[in-house]
Structure 1
Amino acid sequence: MFTENFDTNLKIIKKALRSEKSFDLIERNLILNEHRAVFFFVDGFLKDDIAEKILEFFYKNLKDENFKSAEYFSQSSVPYVEVETSSDIKKICTGILSGISALLVEGFSKVILLDTRTYPQRETGEPDNDKVLRGSHDGFVETLVLNTALIRRRIRDTDLTVKAYQIGTQSQTDIAVMYIDTKVDQKFLKTLEKRLSEINVPSLTMNQQSLIETLYKHRWYNPFPKVKHTERPDTAASSVLKGNIVILVDNSPSALILPTSIFDVLEEADDYYFSPVVGTYLRLSRYFITLLSVFITPLWLLALQNPDSCPQIFRFVLLSEPQNIPIFWQLILMEVGIDGLRLAALNTPNSLTTPLSIIGAIALSEFAVNSGWVSMEAILYMALVTVANYTQPNYELGYSLKFCRILLLTLTYIFNIWGFIAAFIINLLFLALNRTLSGKSYLYPLIPFNGKALLHRLFRIRQ
């Protein structure tokens, strides 16, 4: 408990903060009008120019009557906007470690906290994963306050609410929950707030993914994404205006949108930056290509296993020459090989990306065919699948569709037509039995059926 004894208060803070153990925890000793003071801050989080002006004001303008109490001092003598006083040692230490400056003054029983922090950051350029042909080209960065400001810039409504939480007993990671109070599902909001308050983990080790796993612990075996990630402030703002909740996590350049259905995941900003006709075409094309990416290789394998049942118009897909390796294993090898190339591209220096692409293309095409590992037809269909996966930017959905495709291939190879039917039903059950974080159907408005809402999902209706 703080008292008016300066030395005692200083010992309490230094013991709790362990400032002597870390070189970047700075203690700036001051003399303010014959009163001892200590300025605590983290080197690298302090706005040097602002702190310099505040200290300059202290040295030139302070008088004895300003030192009545910490509250009076902060109101009469601190030329800054974001100022508060506190005697809670945990709050003080957490604030200092978050970048807030703390001023301990002789004779005060409270510490003055000044939010003079700044964080290292990159420019708010267009994100690589959520590019658009039209519209704004700014994106989220790793700083929480800037990300909330990017959304507030687009929604100037007093009903927009931003609640702050700190998750992790050790990391104390800052997160922000944003929603429109008059549009949000209040029942889901209360459930979410309860779950957030009950999270008891040392830290969010993997940032947003750790938060998702603590919020949604059940049905981990279902591969379909429970939330939508976006790096675009306009997409996040649009979702908030529709009644969804957006969660921002400090140190993460993307937002979590929930609750999320399969139709939400498949939406893109480009759908709304073009006219309704063009937007509808882009959306329906994406739906069709997404389905194509799941079924094209299993249907081809099914046709090869049942050549007599293949319609005459599609007989050109049949192979006329025997294969050294069964088509099923060719497709599985290429599924793994394409993922290997993708991982290699992520870990390859930029100067070597082009040579790697050339080597990968040659290895998976001409050399692979000539050596008898794969057929040209298998390469063609896997190339179509790979390109189709990039028509939607959600990586989680892309891998979910991959698992569905592999299940279709495996059961079709083992059980033929009945295996294809069984895998189709299993995949359908994965979708139908999946639930959003709010507990609603993942396929809404298809299940339960809502014609008007489904029409808005399939077609880009004029705003």
Structure 2
Amino acid sequence: MPEKKKVTASREESTEYLNKVLPVQDSFDIIQRDMMIGGRVASFYFIDGFTKDESMLKIMDSMFKVTEEDMPADATAFARECIPYVEVDIIGDFDQVLRNILSGVTCLFIEGYEACIAIDCRTYPARSVEEPDKDKSLRGSRDGFVETIVFNTALMRRRIRDPHLTMQMLEVGDSSRTDVAICYMKDRVDTELLNTVMTRIKSIKTDDLRMNQQSLAECLYKRKWFNPFPKFKFTERPDTAAACLLEGKVVILVDNSPSAMILPTSILDMIEEANDYYFPTLTGIYLKVSRALITIMTVFLTPLFLLFMQNLNWLPDAFAFVAVKDMVNIPLIFQLLILEIAIDGLRLAALNTPSMLSTPLSVIAGLVMGEFSVKSGWFNSEVMLYMAFVAVANYTQPNFELGYALKFMRLLLLVLTALFNWIGFAAGCIIIVCSICFNKTLSGRNYLNIKLN
């Protein structure tokens, strides 16, 4: 980082220092513009593409009308009397000057003024606030977070017109200097949790947040590799984030990331979605219960099927039809594991397939893998049916990380059941329960909202 240096009254000295630190000559988008204002030499520094041209033209037009006799004595008076704009600041430290220039603020140096005038008329390239693809709502709002942090805070401020709504801006990363906003309701937030979050963010020592929000999450809480359950809840919906704020939770926004991080969280928060709140109470409860049951089935359906196939005498007569009747060419455990990997392969292929080809290719893949893999003797039809249910049921889970955590638990159950029969199944169930009960989050509580030491 450049050394801290105070801005002097010499414009020439200031521009010489900035041109030495900033690659003005080498970078086409860092622009220095020299002109005369009130009979004094002045220099503008700004980033091309981050400045509102119309606003700057009006500001410059008013500056050109200032005569030499009307020039104020200092930068503060000049900003107050000669700049008809709202967001104007006076900076006396070059470290702050560099930070402002590189984040898009226009900085003005005028000969004789012992300070820099920062004019915040920046604009960032941004997409429209359209509804996120992953977390859709049938009756809710159709807007979603974008990559610009100021737009995201405005979307929440629009929903909560309460003076207690506080949004503090911090910077993380020595090189990236990524903006991080901590949002909370001052009269409802858990003070202990808020202090913990603020202390941890301020104490982060890293060069940059390469992956934005994910990098911040890893810096905030070092997860244990053997517990795949997520520590944070993420949402791309501003209405969900606003509802969490009103519940007393903390929402963290990271610039360049179109989602919000919500703290604290529990297993019930993870399986919630916006549709639960946009319907009548009875319908919302039904949706929650059905989603919870389907989530449980995605973990235990195939391991239970494998367990009963290994112990056919346990199978009640009423469920005798579920037994595998075709000849088993490949052991059931290998069929299940191969299909688990194949489903992920199809998901990755669909993700990277152009949208115009995704539908026909998905149909072809479904026909080939479904029909001909059974006829060829690789897989049994019963195994294909249960794995198809698991693949489709995974999409009822709104949280992507939780879906994969449950998948890893299912694979663990399958392997233990295949190796140790019912003892392995029981041990796997105990491991799953312990993974949930002892999954400590940033708030110091587990998934069941119980305080852990």
TM exceeds 0.5?
yes
Q: Distance in 1 between matches of 2:434 and 2:375?
A: 41
Q: Which amino acid aligns with 2:108?
A: L
Q: How far is the alpha carbon of 1:21 from its aligned partner? A: 2.2
Q: Does 1:282 align with 2:255?
A: no
Q: Distance in 2 between matches of 1:232 and 1:367?
A: 42
> Identical aligned pairs, as a percentage?
50
Q: Which amino acid aligns with 1:394?
A: N
1:315 maps to 320
Contact 1:83–1:112 (CA under 8 A) maintained in structure 2: yes
Q: Does 1:69 align with 2:74?
A: yes
Q: Distance in 1 between matches of 2:397 and 2:237?
A: 15
Q: Distance in 1 between matches of 2:415 and 2:69?
A: 82
1:238 maps to 243
Q: Does 1:181 align with 2:196?
A: no
1:452 maps to none
- Per-residue CA deviation, residues 51-84 of structure 1 (Å, 9 max, x unaligned), is 1111111112455333311111111111110110
Query: Which residue of the other structure, out of 323, 331, 356, is the alignment partner of 1:326?
Result: 331
Query: Which residue of the other structure, out of 95, 109, 113, is the alignment partner of 2:114?
Result: 109
2:415 maps to 410
RMSD: 1.2
- Per-residue CA deviation, residues 385-409 of structure 1 (Å, 9 max, x unaligned), is 1111111211001000100100110
- Per-residue CA deviation, residues 299-319 of structure 1 (Å, 9 max, x unaligned), is 100110000111112211101
- Per-residue CA deviation, residues 132-171 of structure 1 (Å, 9 max, x unaligned), is 1111110000100000000000111111110101111111
1:461 maps to none
- Per-residue CA deviation, residues 249-299 of structure 1 (Å, 9 max, x unaligned), is 101111000111111111111111000011111111111111011111001
Q: Distance in 2 between matches of 1:223 and 1:133?
A: 31
2:87 maps to 82
Q: Distance in 2 between matches of 1:375 and 1:399?
A: 25
Query: Which residue of the other structure, out of 346, 350, 356, is the alignment partner of 2:355?
Result: 350
Q: Which amino acid aligns with 1:4?
A: A
Query: Which residue of the other structure, out of 252, 256, 268, is the alignment partner of 1:251?
Result: 256
Return 139-148 or 53-62, whichever deviates more. Answer: 53-62
Contact 1:230–1:256 (CA under 8 A) maintained in structure 2: yes
Contact 1:66–1:76 (CA under 8 A) maintained in structure 2: no
Instruction: Write the mapping of 1:61-460 to structure 2, written as runs, cut at 5 A.
Output: 61-444=66-449
Q: Distance in 1 between matches of 2:374 and 2:97?
A: 66
Give the secondary-structure state (helix, strand or coil) at the position aligned to 1:440.
Answer: coil
TM-score of the aligned structures, taking structure 1 as reference length: 0.94
1:10 maps to 15
Q: Distance in 2 between matches of 1:94 and 1:21?
A: 19
Q: Distance in 1 between matches of 2:265 and 2:411?
A: 25
Q: How far is the alpha carbon of 1:322 from its aligned partner? A: 2.3
Contact 1:177–1:248 (CA under 8 A) maintained in structure 2: yes
1:453 maps to none
TM-score of the aligned structures, taking structure 2 as reference length: 0.96
Q: 1:62 to 1:431 in 2, by over 3 A?
A: farther
Structure 1, unaligned runs of 5 or more: 449-463
Return 15-24 or 419-428, whichever deviates more. Answer: 15-24
1:456 maps to none
Give the secondary-structure state (helix, strand or coil) at the position aligned to 1:145.
Answer: helix
Query: Which residue of the other structure, out of 27, 47, 52, is the alignment partner of 1:42?
Result: 47
Structure 2, unaligned runs of 5 or more: 1-5
Contact 2:38–2:66 (CA under 8 A) maintained in structure 1: no
2:3 maps to none
- Per-residue CA deviation, residues 218-271 of structure 1 (Å, 9 max, x unaligned), is 424211111111000000000011010000010111100011111111111111
Contact 1:62–1:77 (CA under 8 A) maintained in structure 2: no
Q: Which amino acid aligns with 1:165?
A: L
- Per-residue CA deviation, residues 359-405 of structure 1 (Å, 9 max, x unaligned), is 32123201211111111111110111111111121100100010010
Q: How far is the alpha carbon of 1:14 from its aligned partner? A: 1.8
Q: Which amino acid aligns with 1:188?
A: L
Q: Which amino acid aligns with 2:80?
A: Q
Q: Distance in 2 between matches of 1:323 and 1:30?
A: 84
Q: Distance in 2 between matches of 1:55 and 1:256?
A: 41
Q: How far is the alpha carbon of 1:355 from its aligned partner? A: 2.8
